[in-house]
């Protein structure tokens, strides 16, 4: 079992959106309504370049990434927005399957979430998109997570919420569980790639996983 982080375990897409929008506006750039959806799944290198090139943020991409992550870390230190039922689902599934995390978040964010949620011991491997050649929708981060478990990607199931995440997991050849993000819902064509669609992570039970191809 390989989990996405943002939008699956933590209700964070809004926090990412706020941090990126605030930095864009404060630095003289121009925020676009479609920007957050476009950046979902990108690695930090990719979305910081997007903010520089497409949104006009007048900072080097590495400084953009550091500034956004610092804002998000402060937010998480004050209150970690765990999605209801996520911790229980992870703990329950860890009893039956080896778990990995395949996230577009920066390594420091992944570590902070796992530490504050108490879920670090549940995951045998974690991968940030920073550590692979391409972020989602490319399959790289999921393939690397499977390699680190180690497991055959064809015998893995991925849990995702976004268009780019669903495309990434499907491209890796994995069974795909979709839990659509309510704030930034996936497109219909991406959702069609899922083997099963759930209303919430509370519905992700061992019985559901056992029925996957």
CATH no. for residue 147?
A: 3.40.50.1000
Residues 63, 7 share a domain: no
Half-sphere exposure of 99 (CA within 13 A, CB side): 21
Tell me whether residue 11 is one of the annotated catalytic residues: no
Q: In this structure, what CATH number is given to the domain that contains residue 39?
A: 1.10.150
Range of the domain at 72: 13-78
- Segment 163-182 mean pLDDT: 96
In this prediction, residue 41 has a pLDDT band, given cuts at 50, 70 and 90, of: confident
Classify the phi-psi angles of 49: left when phi > 0, otherwise alpha if psi is within -120 to 50, otherwise beta.
alpha
Residue of 4, 11, 140, 161 with catalytic role? 4
Residues 33, 6 share a domain: no
**In terms of DSSP bridges, do strands 175-178 and 196-197 run parallel, antiparallel, or are they unpaired?**
parallel
Number of domains in the chain: 2
Residue of 6, 11, 140, 161 with catalytic role? 6
Tell me whether residue 6 is one of the annotated catalytic residues: yes
Q: Which pTM does this prediction carry?
A: 0.86
Which of 51, 78, 105 terminates a domain? The answer is 78
pLDDT digits (tens, 9 = 90+) for 112-162: 999 999 999 999 999 999 899 999 999 999 999 999 999 999 999 999 999
């Amino acid at each position: 079992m390989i989990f996405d982080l943002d939008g699956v375990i933590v209700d964070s897409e809004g926090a990412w959106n706020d941090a990126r929008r605030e930095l864009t506006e404060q630095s003289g750039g121009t925020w676009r309504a479609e920007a957050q959806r476009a950046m979902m799944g990108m690695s930090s290198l990719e979305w910081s370049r997007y903010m520089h090139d497409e949104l006009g943020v007048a900072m080097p991409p590495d400084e953009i990434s550091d500034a956004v992550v610092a804002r998000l870390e402060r937010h998480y230190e004050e209150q970690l927005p765990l999605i209801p039922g996520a911790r229980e689902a992870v703990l329950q599934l860890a009893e039956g399957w080896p778990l990995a995390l395949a996230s577009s978040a920066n390594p420091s964010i992944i570590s902070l979430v796992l530490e504050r949620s108490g879920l670090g011991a549940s995951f045998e491997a974690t991968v940030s998109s920073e550590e692979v050649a391409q972020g989602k929708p490319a399959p790289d981060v999921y393939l690397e997570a499977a390699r680190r478990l180690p497991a055959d990607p064809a015998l893995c199931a991925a849990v995702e919420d976004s268009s780019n995440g669903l495309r990434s997991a499907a491209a890796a050849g994995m069974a795909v569980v979709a839990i659509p993000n309510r704030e930034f819902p996936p497109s219909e064509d991406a959702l069609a790639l899922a083997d099963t669609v759930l209303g919430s992570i509370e519905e992700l039970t061992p019985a559901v996983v056992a029925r996957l191809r």
